[in-house]
Amino acid sequence: QVQLVESGGGLVQAGGSLRLSCAASGKIFSINAMGWYRQAPGKQRELVTSITSGGATDYADSVRGRFTISRDNAKNTVYLQMNSLKPEDTAVYYCNAHIRPRVVSLASDYWGQGTQVTVSS
């Protein structure tokens, strides 16, 4: 089956940087859009950024200019480069991908396990 595995979270000082990775594995026919969500304690999960199979990107206003999403289709991996981090960026970050498995005719959303990002002031 298909699964997404995230890595790269951690603790950084304000103004620092982190790079998150999310790799899809399993019997994959195709991967369409991929993206990153985040959820802080007591708050709703929000879409941070997304990228289409063709490379078109979109960003939440709160991260535009500081975060960059990219993907390596050969590795079935999406990345999130986070620069100029602020304490407000502290959250659990979740990878999401719309994937059609080889054994299933229709694509579905898949989620990573989440990785903690903590930014100290």
Mean pLDDT by 10 residues, the chain (121 residues): 95 98 94 96 96 96 98 95 98 96 90 97 92
Reduce the secondary structure of the chain to three states and give it as a string: CCEEEEECCEEEECCCCEEEEEEEECCEEEEEEEEEEEECCCCCCEEEEEECCCCCEEECCCCCCCEEEEEEHHHCEEEEEECCCCHHHCEEEEEEEEEEECCCCCCEEEECCCEEEEEEC
CB of 48 closer than 8 Å to CB of 60: yes
Token pair belonging to 79: 């990345």
Please report the pLDDT score of residue 120 as a whole number.
97
Please report the pLDDT score of residue 1 as a whole number.
83
Please report the pLDDT score of residue 38 as a whole number.
98
